[in-house]
Amino acid sequence: MAPRKRIEAGSSASVRRNGKPFTVYLSVDLSNALRDASVERRVHKSEIVRLAVERLLNDLAAGQLELPLGL
């Protein structure tokens, strides 16, 4: 068995798992768009989703966005 390669702490390949896992099911179109944005920006898909959720919650808290009832 080949020895494992050590990844330096600051590299972009490092895993930053410091929260609670959350599963999200996306439509095929939305998943493809997320994949394309991830490749284009060279950022992991989870980082894009994390930022999007954070911005949504900030907008809701600031009263800048209103969701319909039941959503």
Q: Is residue 70 part of a domain?
A: no
22-71 pLDDT tens trace: 999 999 999 999 999 999 999 999 999 999 999 999 998 988 888 787 76
More confident residue, 68 or 20: 20
Q: Would you call 64 helix, strand, or coil by DSSP?
A: coil
Q: Is residue 10 part of a domain?
A: no
Number of domains in the chain: 1
pLDDT of residue 64: 85
pLDDT of residue 10: 54
Angle at 40 between CA 16 and CA 50, to 5 degrees: 35
Domain that holds residue 36: 28-61
Its pTM stands at 0.68
More confident residue, 1 or 24: 24
